[in-house]
Chain A
């Protein structure tokens, strides 16, 4: 037990920080600045611990084999904790989050991060359910807790109802699976499977899939996304658009790929499930990317547009799942990492503009590239993020999409690939609308000049340069990702 506790040291630090911040903000005297610094220190400590001590525990199954701290878990925990740091930096000066709520906001960010870290490492159905609910509850609160904003409460309510039903369905599916196989452990389920169970098995897996699809916001379980993304404060939207989605994919891959596809004892199971599952994922992927893109076309609010675009990115990621091969999963991991950089970057700029100008429509970006000084730099960085999101070379987003397409072509999913390719063209149209506003419209409306702080400039520059770096010199990282698939 003690060994288990040591193994989850990063999560432990996150939990301790959560409690610490709760007490600090409850005392009511904490200044915003000092809370920010303390939160940042907590998150960075967690990340450092993760890098220092996780190698020792690869393959270690903690807490009665409910958690496995393997390389995949390490990769995802790294993403989640980095994301938390990113979000904390974004909240620092956010005008959307009042000083009064700042402490609570940080507490919830830490809580959701802890939940996501556990999702990435659970190998037990109960643990999966528990940690997914952990994420969900924190998200509901994060969406709805700006009480004076009506849209926030409305979105929070919508999210809660939707999420509640989705997790109920998922729990139902899990109970079926337990009934059929008599075990909750993912690695024991395939062995407990008998051919006569295949229909019940399929049924329960589809129900479980509903829960996961809700988390990754796959169509038709995406209806909560635009409202929630628009209503939440921008740093939290950034968190939502990357974190729970990545967590959803982590668990999706663990359940549907690692445990079912990967070993010889699963041959019997897969024989009966494979065709059905692949079709399901292909349809999910095709509908998700197409619907997300089509809905994004006409949005005026940039947060809403990015919300819909994140749906379509989930569609591309699902294409990697649909391929059901190591190559597909590897590509998906790469894409998630790049997505963290490019979507995070785009939201960073959106956050900046909202804080300085209080403006979040695409038309507010008009002439941004012509204002000179820091503002031209923001526009250049934003262009890099958008081109990368659109999937054009030489940026990382292109490589991510390319590897996913490669995996799908290998499995002869030509129809799905064509849908994906057409979607790249559609997506370019709405990303180009922002480019058009920034550069092609050259009238500069009177607004206060934005001056970048050094750390903001550094952040943006680092993100855009790393997108170019991973667009050209990606092979070593790609090679690393290959090793994390068991």
Chain B
């Protein structure tokens, strides 16, 4: 089975979707539990991947170091293959997206309208997301990337909030605009390097012996910029971020969870999978501005705007922008700490924001609004809910002992070596984050107790069950990040050595970390 494991992980939800389409729309329970089963399969298999994964096989530009590879010819005239496989970079994202897809199903249980269509589209979305993370062929990657837009448009547009139509079309057009240029870059690479395989392309480009027109520096820079626009819209990096608050606020809870938990990571994953190995020199040149500087803007700007929000969901949407800034900053550092931190922050932001959005969903289901100023004193009526939310908020603001802290520290450690001043500015973002999250928490749970909320039921079993898996990871990685870092570190070490000129120093990062915690 291990020979087909990635295909099963990717297409199991699609099979579930087809199955659901055959069911009568009245059988609500059956549809819900089918979705649970068909998202549980990838999760279980992802755990199997984790068990059988060898971190020392680092992938990137070496085809023989990928694991669980499947390769079948698809379009022979263009040398396009169905080519999937994972390395230390993608395995974490595969696990994350399996996890978030699974808990998203539980967050969707409260959906009432047309659930047959909802779950079918939801499962299609899961397949497309997973496909992006496992593809090693540029064409396949692009197809999955685009297929993801279709269910997303309907999921936001049909099951979303009051301004859902606007949010859905804005998301659709924005992301499509970003991704169409990827098509040009993909073809440009093909006609000069004669392959669509990301692995082969990487090995050609890493050798710095550029074939054909790729030898022209300006063409390579143009390719980098076009790719960056596509990925930056997904992240979303500062000037391209305006679709995110709209989409997040209008989307139903589970879709916000998917959006923040997985979709945003596709942007940074795309950069790491495509821009970094395929255009290492240009990345080195452009990233300090495009990722470093914009990352700082994301952190600070996102935090300030979040502080001004009155809508709880919008606040978390902007906090996502701020948190993705850390990922960008870490990626721009080009050293092992920074890259590890960035990849760790991608996972942690996925779990933390998923939890935050589920928490907001819980209160929205009861109050039917998310207005921070109108809430208040909820700790009286919903004590358990208050505890869970406190956990999520503290994770969000980077409390030591929870996973967000580790990844932020790693990012700062890495970035400080390269951009000391910028990092000092970015570090103030931590304070701002604490400010807006604690202030919001205070207004929602303390302040004056309101009588009209006294009938609210506390958080129920399903809701609790849907956050427990992510809470587990937040806590585990907060105290013991080694399993994750072991998984990704060899790949990230190799990544830095690809990017940097060959002489760059690599060192064992875990030693550094323990040094930081216990001696310094």
Contacts and interface: CB of A to CB of B under 8 A. Distances in A.
Interface of A: 370, 387, 392-394, 398, 402, 405-406, 409-410, 414, 417-418, 421-422, 424-425, 428-429, 432, 435-436, 439-440, 442, 474-475, 478-479, 482
Interface of A, secondary structure class, is helix
Interface stretch (B168-176, B258-266, B269-277, B340-348): B168-176
Contact of B176 (A417, A418, A424, A435): A424
A406 B158 CA distance: 35
Interface in B116-153: 142-143, 146-147, 149-150, 153
B75 interface: yes
B188 A409 contact: yes
A398 B172 contact: no
A323 to B, nearest CB: 12
Chain B CB within 10 A, most for which of A409, A414, A418, A478: A409
A429 to B, nearest CB: 6
Nearest to B191: A410
A393 B143 contact: yes
B462 interface: no
B514 interface: no
Interface string B150-178: 10011001100000110011001100110
Contact of B143 (A394, A405, A421, A429): A394
A143 to B, nearest CB: 35
Nearest to A479: B77
B180 A421 contact: yes
A394 B140 CA distance: 11
Contacts of A398: 143, 146
A416 to B, nearest CB: 11
B150 A429 contact: no
Nearest to B189: A409
B181 interface: yes
Contacts, number: 75
Contacts of B165: 436, 440
Contact of A421 (B74, B75, B78, B183): B183
Most A CB within 10 A of own CB, among B74, B78, B183: B183
A8 B270 CA distance: 55
A170 B433 CA distance: 70
B196 to A, nearest CB: 11
A252 to B, nearest CB: 24
B177 A425 contact: yes
Contacts of A478: 75, 77
A482 B74 CA distance: 17
Contacts of A436: 157, 165, 169
B78 A406 contact: yes
Nearest to A427: B176
A421 B184 contact: yes
A432 B183 contact: no
Given A409-B184, A475-B74, A439 B149 contact: no
11 contacts: A392-B147, A393-B143, A402-B183, A406-B78, A409-B184, A425-B177, A432-B172, A435-B153, A474-B75, A475-B75, A478-B75
A418 B184 contact: yes
B17 to A, nearest CB: 13
B78 A425 contact: no
B76 interface: yes
A436 B166 CA distance: 10
Shortest 6 CB-CB contacts between residues of A and residues of B: A409-B187, A421-B180, A393-B143, A440-B157, A425-B177, A440-B165
Nearest to A417: B184
Contacts of B168: 440
Given A405-B184, A432-B169, A392 B150 contact: yes
Given A398-B146, A406-B78, A428 B176 contact: yes
A409 B77 contact: no
A429 B153 CA distance: 12
B147 A393 contact: yes
A482 B147 CA distance: 28
B107 to A, nearest CB: 22
B96 to A, nearest CB: 24
B187 A428 contact: no
Contacts of A394: 143, 147
Interface of B: 74-78, 114, 142-143, 146-147, 149-150, 153-154, 157-158, 164-165, 168-169, 172-173, 176-177, 180-181, 183-184, 187-188, 190-191
Given A409-B191, A422-B177, A429-B169, 13 more contacts: A392-B146, A392-B149, A392-B150, A402-B183, A410-B187, A410-B191, A421-B180, A421-B181, A424-B180, A435-B153, A436-B169, A440-B157, A478-B77
A475 B82 CA distance: 13
A150 to B, nearest CB: 36
B150 A405 contact: no
Contacts of B142: 393
B403 to A, nearest CB: 35
Nearest to B142: A393
A114 B190 CA distance: 42
Contact of B146 (A370, A393, A405, A475): A393
Contacts of A410: 187, 191
Contacts of A429: 169, 173
Given A414-B184, A424-B180, A475 B172 contact: no
A478 B491 CA distance: 39
A482 B158 CA distance: 43
A412 B76 CA distance: 22
Contacts of A439: 154, 157-158
A428 B173 contact: yes
Contacts of B157: 436, 439-440
Contacts of B149: 392
Contacts of A414: 184
A410 B154 CA distance: 36
B180 A425 contact: yes
B512 to A, nearest CB: 44
B154 A405 contact: no
Nearest to B175: A425
A67 B302 CA distance: 69
Contacts of A402: 183
Contacts of B187: 405-406, 409-410, 417
A402 B187 CA distance: 9
A428 B187 CA distance: 22
Nearest to A442: B158
B44 to A, nearest CB: 27
A479 B181 CA distance: 27
A343 to B, nearest CB: 20
B220 to A, nearest CB: 14
A441 to B, nearest CB: 8
A190 B17 CA distance: 58
Contacts of A442: 158
A47 B16 CA distance: 41
Given A392-B149, A405-B183, A428 B76 contact: no
A440 B191 contact: no
A428 B172 contact: yes
Contact of B77 (A387, A417, A440, A475): A475
B219 to A, nearest CB: 9
A373 B172 CA distance: 28
Nearest to A376: B117
A231 B74 CA distance: 44
Contacts of B184: 405, 409, 414, 417-418, 421
Contacts of A418: 181, 184
A482 B78 CA distance: 13
Contacts of B172: 428, 432
A148 to B, nearest CB: 40
Contacts of B147: 392-394
Contacts of B146: 392-393, 398
Nearest to A439: B158
A411 B114 CA distance: 48
Contacts of B173: 425, 428-429
A439 to B, nearest CB: 6
B312 to A, nearest CB: 25
